[in-house]
Amino acid sequence: MPLQFSPETPIRRSAAALWRPFDHETAVILPTVSSVRVLNEVGARIWELADGRTLAQIVDTLVNEYDVERTQLEEDARAFLSELQDRGLLEGIPDK
């Protein structure tokens, strides 16, 4: 189930995560649990924007950059962020 947080909640990458962009993807490594995740272009962009910006700010940016409907993008972003949170890749997000 996607995270239930407000559009004003700041989204932050975990300080413990290491990441490196390549081509249109990004590899994210969480050394504390030996986890590696490869993000596609949109996932990589969300990861880049997860620097304390709010969900609303991230969605605004993506709507301007991609040809996508806002409601669907916000739904997909919430699901993606929920997955990142479950893997320990975000910090400061309230529990489900």
In this predicted model, what pLDDT tens digit does every residue of 55-71 receive, in sequence order? 999 999 999 999 999 99
CB distance 6 to 29 below 8 Å: no
Residue boundaries of the structural domains of the chain: 10-87
Distance from C-alpha of 65 to C-alpha of 43, rounded to nearest angstrom: 13
pLDDT at 32 over 90: no
pTM (two decimals): 0.87
Distance from C-alpha of 39 to C-alpha of 34, rounded to nearest angstrom: 16
Distance from C-alpha of 17 to C-alpha of 55, rounded to nearest angstrom: 20
pLDDT at 13 over 90: yes
- Identify the architecture of domain 10-87 in CATH: Alpha-Beta Complex (3.90)
What confidence score (pLDDT) does residue 7 get? Answer: 85
Between β-strands 90-91 and 51-54, what pairing exists: parallel, antiparallel or unpaired?
unpaired
